[in-house]
Structure 1
Amino acid sequence: MLDLIDDRCAYGLYSSFMACFVYTIFGSCKDSPVGPTAIAAILTRENLHGLGPEFAVLMCFLCGCVVMLMGILQLGFLIDFISGPVSVGFTSAAAIIIATTQIKDLLGLSFPGSKFLDVWEQLFEHISETRLWDTLLGFACMAILLLLRKAKDIPVGPADTNKRTTLQKVLGQMLWLISTGRNILVVVVCAVMAYTFKLHDVEPFLLTGYVKPGLPPFQPPPFTATVGNTTYSFLDMTSSLGSALFVVPLLAILENVALAKVFYDSLLCLHFLVLSNAADGRAIDATQEMLAIGACNILSSFVSSMPVSGALSRGAVNHASGVATTFGGIYTGILVILSLYLFTPYFAYIPKASLAAVIVAAVVFMVEFHVVKPMWRTKSELNCHFGSVFRSYMSIKIFCLLHLPTELDLIPAIATFLSCLFIRLELGIVIGIGINILFLLYASARPSVHVEKVTSGSICSYQFTLSESHIFQSSSGCEYLLITPDRSLVFPSVEYVRNLVTKAGMKEGSSCTPVVIDSRHIQGADFTAAKGIKSLIEDFVKRNQPILFYNLKPSVVEVFQGVQPKEFKHCHNEAELNELLKEYAKKLSQRNSIQINEINGRQL
């Protein structure tokens, strides 16, 4: 992973120790080893535009500031807008891009380009330059890594560990250790092999090359940089980094939250993430985690680090190793410092093909093809309105919307995946989030409305008949049209609901049956909704059709009354509803009697 940013691998090592110490103090998730990750590395590389590591260090500092500011302002709820399908599409695309950028090292090729399409184009142009020994070493390392990955699953003795002998337990632990440390094992063996060839003046492999030994100087991140003959000011540097300054921090938080959710029973709330530790019942505050990740990035930038966050693969090793506290990061940081002091001269002998094989073998499992089938099976209902659809069930008529079953979760997943793959990673995740927000807005603007004719419990004594339709049935009670919206009324949906209620009242209610709007699901309303309801009441008043509101919350009544609608009638219980229906029936009966008398008088 270290060469995902720049050919100078030291910057990957510089990113691996300071965050360990900082997170030990400020962090709260014991299994979160904060450091460089493949996704952060590829995002950083895409936004450097070949300008040099100074820009990566500044990005680390600014990302830390953004994450810390989000923690202070408690903006963790923004992570909720990155849905599972968007995360899957982004992660899978990033894994494929990372693997693609390593193909040239697997084949021993050297050409510029880090974009998905550019790499494949260059690959076909330079395929004739493939180096045989690098290719054999690279694919052999990948095969060995994939085999060793399964070594820990080899059963040694009975399934019940208490029944295993001492030898079986030791063998099981050895297999687990070999499987867990397979990456370092393969890299060390390949480096020894390359060093042996070097002693005999044979160089069959492309090597990593010189890595600067020692610790980096502790200094503020660069706020100006000179690349070639061009000097970049702070504003020039930040503008060149672009949207990555906001996308990388979001993904850093997302990775850390995802890691915590894997190893703890979790409940993600809007402003507070409660993660129940099965061992000691501690709780992890999402705000504290954001402050910790922010501090890790800010302080790491003082030692020439790239952006860092929690890594799921390293977290799995920590969890399986039985790490009990965040103090485990101290050991990781010390080991990295010792490596910088003692082993950097030997890094020069690591074949590039072996490093590429390690990266490819790690990221190939980040491509989440296995979730496509569950997403296909999980069908969502998109409430698409194609007009008024009426269905008749015996004597009860129900007005409903047309429900179109579609695999909606696949749409943002595929859009994110393709956008990340063929455009840019940060733009791809923004596009995926945008599509999800459009779905949320559509659901808000197009609520489901249930309409049916019902009869009140009390018998209405008023009975009349118009030319074609009757309004009240004295044999069973007062008949009215019950309309039930399934959510709150806000400005995107008020016109839609108003049109549905008007059409239902005119068509199903024959413009005379009383309409009762059951408001039990309306938890809130705004000024636009109140104006729409006022216009709706006026429409009903013009055609002398009663309209009542039932089960309105006091806060919603206050909002509606704020626009001073005339003839606004609302009731809180069934008794009040029946009384109002009786009153309307009496008035309508008297009016119809007058109309009938006038008609009879004209006929005479």
Structure 2
Amino acid sequence: MTVLESVKKHLKFDCQKFVKKRVPITSWFPQYTLSLLFQDLLAGITVGMTEIPQGIAYAIVAGLPPEFGLYSGLIDGFIYAIFGGCKDLNIGPTSILSLMLQPHVTRMGPDASILMTFLSGIIIFLLGVMHLGFVIQFFSYPIIAGFMCGGSLQIASGQLKSLFGIPGKSDNFLESWKSVFANINQIRKWDTVLGVTSIAALIALREIRVFGSLQNREDWSKRRNFFGKIVFLVSLARNALILVIGTVISYCLYEEAPFKITGNVTGGFPAFQVPPFSTTFNGTNYDFEDLAKGYGISFVFIPLLSILEAVTIAKAFYKGRQLDATQEMLALGLCNIVGSFVGSMPVTGSFTRSAVNNASGVRTTLAGVFTSLLLFLAIAFLTPTFYYVPKATLGSIIICAMFYLFDFEAFVLLWRTKKLDLIPFLTTFICCLFLGVDYGILIGAAVNLLFVLYASARPKFNIEKEKISSDQTEVYIITPKDTLYFPAAEYLRDTVLEFEGGDVTVIINGKYIRNMDITVAKSMSVLTHELTLKNHKVYFLDFKQSVVNICIGVDKKLKDHFLSEESYKSIIKDQSDLIVTSEISQL
């Protein structure tokens, strides 16, 4: 084999490996069968029946016309089927992103939503290309739980006016409740009856799932297995079922007008066009700079939360298998970028629909294609019927979804395990409710960072005090339990300088110190100098060579203070029979 042939062979192999890694459909589609197709078709249709009512509802939460929620699912299924790696993950609109989008849509109009989708996609895709997905690790569990609880409560509160059929604004938590109490005399009886009944029905239909199963069970008769499948499918499609029943009732009673209805929904497919980089809304012109400034910190948080939701959900369904988070980010970025060309709002992984996907027996990501095709059919043929959808029904669907999104166990879990984590949790939760989700996340993350910095500035030390009877020398062996960073520099210095007495030898054991910054190294140099002036001896034991090099680079005189194992034994071990006291304390 010639050199050229060898190079060609390796290039071909590398290209094939790259394509299979970055276009996952190429690895499994050649083995695709009719059996898999049937299972994916069933799962895709079931998820689609959930996404139609949720898409309409979440568009309303975002302050957008209802059709935008349907547009948001048109392309995602096709894109994710090709580039996605998690068969269970469903990409589409979600309640949290809708809530974050709502103030910008209210102020700058629907075009602001489309541009945000495009920009989010670009940011997510670039973060994936640069393998920067680790940034989402800065959102700890207390922050995420507080955000989810605050966001879900705010969204549910915003739907009270739809549930009761009353007028008023619902842009934030306080405003929603003020509207309820200010207009309590205008509560519409039949809207309330329909809304409350729908909530009860949704909860009941969700709970009956335990009496059904998609898989045949050996302990069940053939008839029970048959009805079990029906019960399970009805439970999965409960949102669509309630939406259809509510719409039929509204249509039949249209002349009496007992309910407030959604009204006109623009029919037809959206034009495939470049996202708007400028817009006019309520007589105000916004260029790209105005729009970008108007997004504020949402410009950063929406893409980050999109990544967080999608990757977290994908990991949950991967069940121990290795997830390629970079590939998920690339796929999610493409879904948003391409989706923005058809008027999509920002999309990410939906836990509710992903759970439905998993429960429906999905086998591959091709199920998303069938979900998107169902949305195509809904836009093509069902748009006129959306006119009659009662707002109370949509409100009940959203409120139920938020009820199950609210993390009731978070408070108990944090109280039982680490009460200190309740502070960032409650800070995020309260700020999300009263200041908005953007500032809630920002303030919660800042508070959480303070806890991290405090822990870094106050590391744990193991201090062993020994006294040698031959010369009454006191030896303090200080062992930091973790790597030391600059916030801990002064604390280490102050801790050591507290040791008083005549002849004192201080040994700092660095066996747990994996790295060190220059601030700590300079502090160790100053510490050595100050102890020497007090006629104390100071040594450094068991430091990694990379750390030793940093310290010597700061102060060459420190070289003489680093002990070898033999030198340490000559100071302590060989005189162990002379030690008369030995104390160990934790600091």
Cα RMSD over matched residues? 2.0
Q: Distance in 2 between matches of 1:35 and 1:338?
A: 17
Q: Distance in 2 between matches of 1:488 and 1:444?
A: 9
Q: 1:143 to 1:513 in 2, by over 3 A?
A: same
2:563 corresponds to: 571
User: 2:212 touches 2:232 (CA, 8 Å); kept in 1?
Assistant: no
1:206 corresponds to: 260
1:450 corresponds to: 462
Find the partner of 2:445 among 430, 433, 437. Answer: 433
Residue 225 in 1 paired to residue 225 in 2? no
Residue 152 in 1 paired to residue 209 in 2? yes
Residue 172 in 1 paired to residue 184 in 2? no
What code does the residue aligned with 1:418 have? I
User: 2:72 touches 2:343 (CA, 8 Å); kept in 1?
Assistant: yes
Q: Distance in 2 between matches of 1:155 and 1:365?
A: 20
Summarize the alignment of residues 446-485 of structure 1 with structure 2, pairs less than 5 Å apart. Answer: 446-454=458-466, 463-464=470-471, 470-471=472-473, 480-485=475-480
Q: 1:68 to 1:570 in 2, by over 3 A?
A: same
Find the partner of 1:556 among 523, 547, 557. Answer: 547
User: 1:138 touches 1:354 (CA, 8 Å); kept in 2?
Assistant: yes
Q: Distance in 2 between matches of 1:535 and 1:161?
A: 73
Instruction: Note the alpha carbon deviations across 1:168-206, whole angstroms, 9 max, x for none.
Output: 1011111111111111111111111111112xx221111
Residue 498 in 1 paired to residue 498 in 2? no
Instruction: Note the alpha carbon deviations across 1:126-153, whole angstroms, 9 max, x for none.
Output: 1111111111111011111111111111
Instruction: Note the alpha carbon deviations across 1:56-91, whole angstroms, 9 max, x for none.
Output: 111111111111111112111111111111111000
CA-CA distance at 1:220 after TM superposition:
0.7
Find the partner of 1:488 among 478, 483, 487. Answer: 483
Q: 1:245 to 1:582 in 2, by over 3 A?
A: closer
Q: Distance in 2 between matches of 1:123 and 1:494?
A: 55
Residue 320 in 1 paired to residue 344 in 2? no
Residue 78 in 1 paired to residue 110 in 2? no
User: 1:108 touches 1:130 (CA, 8 Å); kept in 2?
Assistant: yes
1:413 corresponds to: 425
What code does the residue aligned with 2:480 have? P
CA-CA distance at 1:377 after TM superposition:
1.1
What code does the residue aligned with 2:421 have? D
Q: Distance in 2 between matches of 1:367 and 1:217?
A: 37
SS of corresponding position for 1:566: helix
1:353 corresponds to: 392
CA-CA distance at 1:526 after TM superposition:
2.1
Q: Distance in 1 between matches of 2:453 and 2:237?
A: 48
Q: Distance in 1 between matches of 2:518 and 2:99?
A: 47
1:134 corresponds to: 191
User: 2:510 touches 2:543 (CA, 8 Å); kept in 1?
Assistant: yes
Summarize the alignment of residues 81-96 of structure 1 with structure 2, pairs less than 5 Å apart. Answer: 81-96=138-153
CA-CA distance at 1:580 after TM superposition:
4.7
Q: Distance in 1 between matches of 2:128 and 2:309?
A: 15
User: 2:212 touches 2:231 (CA, 8 Å); kept in 1?
Assistant: no
SS of corresponding position for 1:360: helix
Q: 1:133 to 1:481 in 2, by over 3 A?
A: same
Instruction: Note the alpha carbon deviations across 1:463-521, whole angstroms, 9 max, x for none.
Output: 34xxxxx32xxxxxxx62211112223222111101101113x2xxx141322111111
What code does the residue aligned with 1:254 have? L
What code does the residue aligned with 1:205 have? F
CA-CA distance at 1:263 after TM superposition:
1.4
**TM-score w.r.t. structure 2 length?**
0.85
CA-CA distance at 1:20 after TM superposition:
1.3
User: 1:208 touches 1:349 (CA, 8 Å); kept in 2?
Assistant: yes
Whichever structure has more helix as a proportion of its residues is 2
State percent identity of aligned pairs: 38
> Which is bigger in relative contact order (C-alpha 8 A, separation at least 6)?
2
Residue 120 in 1 paired to residue 177 in 2? yes
User: 1:151 touches 1:178 (CA, 8 Å); kept in 2?
Assistant: no
**TM-score w.r.t. structure 1 length?**
0.83
Q: Distance in 2 between matches of 1:571 and 1:354?
A: 75
1:280 corresponds to: none
Residue 523 in 1 paired to residue 514 in 2? yes
2:105 corresponds to: 48
Q: Distance in 1 between matches of 2:395 and 2:416?
A: 36
Q: Distance in 2 between matches of 1:42 and 1:492?
A: 37
Q: 1:497 to 1:584 in 2, by over 3 A?
A: farther
Find the partner of 1:252 among 281, 293, 306. Answer: 306
CA-CA distance at 1:561 after TM superposition:
1.1
User: 1:116 touches 1:422 (CA, 8 Å); kept in 2?
Assistant: yes
User: 1:48 touches 1:241 (CA, 8 Å); kept in 2?
Assistant: no
User: 1:482 touches 1:516 (CA, 8 Å); kept in 2?
Assistant: yes
Q: Distance in 1 between matches of 2:371 and 2:83?
A: 16
What code does the residue aligned with 2:389 have? I
What code does the residue aligned with 1:570 have? F
CA-CA distance at 1:160 after TM superposition:
9.2
1:392 corresponds to: none
Unaligned 5+ segments in structure 1 are: 267-275, 277-282, 380-406, 465-469, 472-478, 586-604
Residue 366 in 1 paired to residue 405 in 2? yes
Instruction: Note the alpha carbon deviations across 1:547-583, whole angstroms, 9 max, x for none.
Output: 111111111111111123536322232x321325699
Q: 1:311 to 1:265 in 2, by over 3 A?
A: same
User: 2:63 touches 2:106 (CA, 8 Å); kept in 1?
Assistant: no
1:342 corresponds to: 381
User: 2:521 touches 2:550 (CA, 8 Å); kept in 1?
Assistant: yes
User: 1:106 touches 1:352 (CA, 8 Å); kept in 2?
Assistant: yes
Find the partner of 1:31 among 72, 88, 108. Answer: 88
1:307 corresponds to: 346
User: 2:64 touches 2:110 (CA, 8 Å); kept in 1?
Assistant: no
2:38 corresponds to: none
Q: Distance in 2 between matches of 1:155 and 1:292?
A: 34
SS of corresponding position for 1:335: helix
Count residues in correspondence: 517
CA-CA distance at 1:23 after TM superposition:
0.9
Q: Distance in 2 between matches of 1:330 and 1:28?
A: 14
Q: Distance in 2 between matches of 1:96 and 1:563?
A: 54
2:72 corresponds to: 15
User: 1:511 touches 1:543 (CA, 8 Å); kept in 2?
Assistant: no
Q: Which has the larger radius of gyration?
A: 1
Find the partner of 1:5 among 62, 75, 98. Answer: 62
2:51 corresponds to: none
1:476 corresponds to: none
CA-CA distance at 1:436 after TM superposition:
1.5
Unaligned 5+ segments in structure 2 are: 1-56, 577-587
